[in-house]
Structure 1
Amino acid sequence: MTLSGRAALVLLGLVIVLWGLNWPVMKVGLEYIPPLLFTSIRMVLGCLCMVFAAAVMGQLRRPYRDEWTLVLSVGLIQMALFLGLVTIALQYVPAGRSSILAYTTSLWVLPIAAMTLGETLTRPRLAGFALGIGGVAVMFNPFGFDWTNPAVVIGNGLLLLAALCWALLIVYVRAQRNQGPPLTLAPWQFGIAAIVLLPIALLVEDASTVTWSDPVLLGVLFYNGPLATAFPFWAIITITRALPAVTTSIGSLGVPAFGVAASAVLLGEALTGTNIVGLLLIGAGVATVTLSDRNRRNEPDSDSTVSTENRTF
């Protein structure tokens, strides 16, 4: 399925809204269900939806032998580890701030790719990285951060650790020759995450405290499964076929911006100067790096590689 440029932009806008709104939605959900159990159910629902989508598109099959490495790495690191850490951190960190820190992933890719893949640290890339790190530094300045609260320190640290883990995965996937069809591999990746997370959640969390019939919880789970996980996964694949990669990458910066705004409106979170300045600097850094990569891809001797990151929020 190939969309027109205008239709793809509309679809991208819808994804930005769905993912941005999901930050306060997840924050609300954590009042009704423990974090790992929440993430596990999200993966189960995402898996079921992706099985249906792959079947409808005629792409439902078992992964080939050389595709299992990608299935396991994405399932374990991006979906299980990244989302697990982010959801745990959301217990302690405001939803808007969490959305900003989670989107530092692209910044950490730069130095890791330079060290492991030999990608060139051009001046625009270094400038973008410096802007992004400046944004992180602003958000962790001693005057805007409560260092005396261990839960806050741990929560913010988990968000940065999650972003770093995802960055390591992106660099690893970039080095793989066989990427595999996304819709074919997605059900297995979601399934792997669910298989790993669910036993851990049942072991360390008390599922008996969950009121499964609560309409708010049911609404949160429905939003997270089909609307904030499965549909955007399909949509991003469709969008990247219709729009330049740089448009999709920079457009995705609308997610933390919308997340901050939605959290302020729905949860009453304060729009602090620290968060706003941090968001602007991190957004400018990611945009600078992305534009630099686009320009290098247009050069005959470019050493840049295609980004394979799939966002799941």
Structure 2
Amino acid sequence: MMQLSRTRTIVYLTFLVTMWGVNWPLSKYALEFAPPLLFAGLRIFISGLILLPFALPRYKKLNLKHTWHVYLISALLNIILFFVFQTFGLKAMPAGLFSTIVFLQPVLLGVGAWLWLGESMTRLKMVGLILGFLGVAVVSVSGGSGSISTVGILLGLASTITWTFGTIYIKKTATKVDAIWLVTVQMIFGGIVLLAAGSTIESWMDIVWNLSFLSSLSIISIFCTALTWLVFFLLVGSGEAGKVGSFNFLVPLIAIVTSVLFLGETITSKLVVGLVLIIAGIALVNLKLKFLQRGTNDTW
């Protein structure tokens, strides 16, 4: 197993979390120039093509004949459904808030791993789950900001649920497929499906091929998708992947700050309460507190 220096690990983690955070407001901005399905298809397909040169040297590990169903199901959950819900959801509500709802995924994943993968459920994780859903309930209450839509919240929850089941499926089938090939194939296949669907119900003529869209699409495809996956696998190979989870709660914070600064999104007092509850829930699920590491946590 390749070991990374402390400095390099911090740099990689900072890049990963920052790009995940910037992705949300940048994607919302790009949607001003392109229809949702075509934009989702373009970003995913381009990312898959970028990853392909890194996957090709591992061609012996593809084994598509015996594992095609794993690639298909993973693409359906982690790419096609997830990005359809995500992209339409971003059209319906502020990027910062939407990213916070989607990043309830680590909370739901803790429950899913407990139910289907036999992992332990700590009291802290359960408290995090409750806080997270209380936060969603608070921001869903009528009478708040006009930017909040019930459809947007439902799409955010659908993205979270899809991502959760997709991650659980990947964990259950991890020994059957190569990780880099899995991401590459599902992105190329998922991107083709999304582009085909977009070409059917949307028009390529509606895409504004200006510098703003092209630069946004390039940054999202290269830095926020393809390179983040490569960095993630590098951290996995060095045994540092576990640290990614502890920084996940920073992603919606980065998305919110970026959205307020560059998209002019506003945050009401009611939304602040909801966001704090959601982020607190995510943090409780992810943070490895010292007293838990000493084995004092209760599990069910």
Residues 82 and 159 in structure 2, CA contact (< 8 A), matched pair in contact too: yes
Q: Does 1:201 align with 2:202?
A: no
Partner of 1:180: 177
* Residues 94, 33 of structure 1: alpha-carbon distance in 2 compared, 3 angstrom cutoff: same
Q: CA deviation at 1:168?
A: 1.6
Q: Does 1:91 align with 2:88?
A: no
Partner of 2:108: 108
Per mean C-alpha deviation after superposition, the further-off stretch among 24-33 and 266-275 is 266-275
Q: CA deviation at 1:237?
A: 1.4
Q: Which secondary structure state, in structure 2, belongs to the residue aligned with residue 239 of structure 1?
A: helix
After TM superposition, the score normalised by the length of structure 1 is 0.84
What per-residue deviation string (whole Å, max 9, x for no partner) do you get for residues 252-293 of structure 1?
Answer: 222111000000000111133333333332232223223479
Identity of aligned residues (%): 27
Residues 114 and 120 in structure 2, CA contact (< 8 A), matched pair in contact too: yes
What per-residue deviation string (whole Å, max 9, x for no partner) do you get for residues 201-221 of structure 1?
Answer: 100111122233x11111111
Partner of 1:129: 129
Partner of 1:311: none
* Residues 237, 295 of structure 1: alpha-carbon distance in 2 compared, 3 angstrom cutoff: farther
Q: Does 1:216 align with 2:212?
A: yes
Q: Does 1:254 align with 2:255?
A: no
Letter in 1 for 2:252: P
Letter in 2 for 1:159: G
In structure 1, distance between residues paired with 2:184 and 2:293:
31
Q: Which secondary structure state, in structure 1, belongs to the residue aligned with residue 92 of structure 2?
A: coil
What per-residue deviation string (whole Å, max 9, x for no partner) do you get for residues 32-58 of structure 1?
Answer: 100100010111111110012234xx3
In structure 2, distance between residues paired with 1:293 and 1:161:
30
Q: CA deviation at 1:160?
A: 0.7
Partner of 1:59: 58
Q: CA deviation at 1:111?
A: 3.4
Partner of 2:8: 7
Partner of 1:68: 68
Could you tell me which runs of 5 or more consecutive residues in structure 1 were left unpaired when the two chains were aligned.
305-313
In structure 1, distance between residues paired with 2:93 and 2:20:
17
Could you tell me which runs of 5 or more consecutive residues in structure 2 were left unpaired when the two chains were aligned.
none
Residues 38 and 198 in structure 2, CA contact (< 8 A), matched pair in contact too: yes
After TM superposition, the score normalised by the length of structure 2 is 0.88
* Residues 186, 120 of structure 1: alpha-carbon distance in 2 compared, 3 angstrom cutoff: closer
Number of residue pairs aligned between Structure 1 and Structure 2:
296
In structure 1, distance between residues paired with 2:170 and 2:299:
16
Aligned CA RMSD, in angstroms, stands at 2.8
Partner of 1:271: 267
Residues 72 and 186 in structure 2, CA contact (< 8 A), matched pair in contact too: yes
Per mean C-alpha deviation after superposition, the further-off stretch among 168-177 and 257-266 is 168-177
In structure 2, distance between residues paired with 1:277 and 1:242:
38
Residues 86 and 156 in structure 2, CA contact (< 8 A), matched pair in contact too: yes
Letter in 2 for 1:59: R
Q: CA deviation at 1:69?
A: 3.4
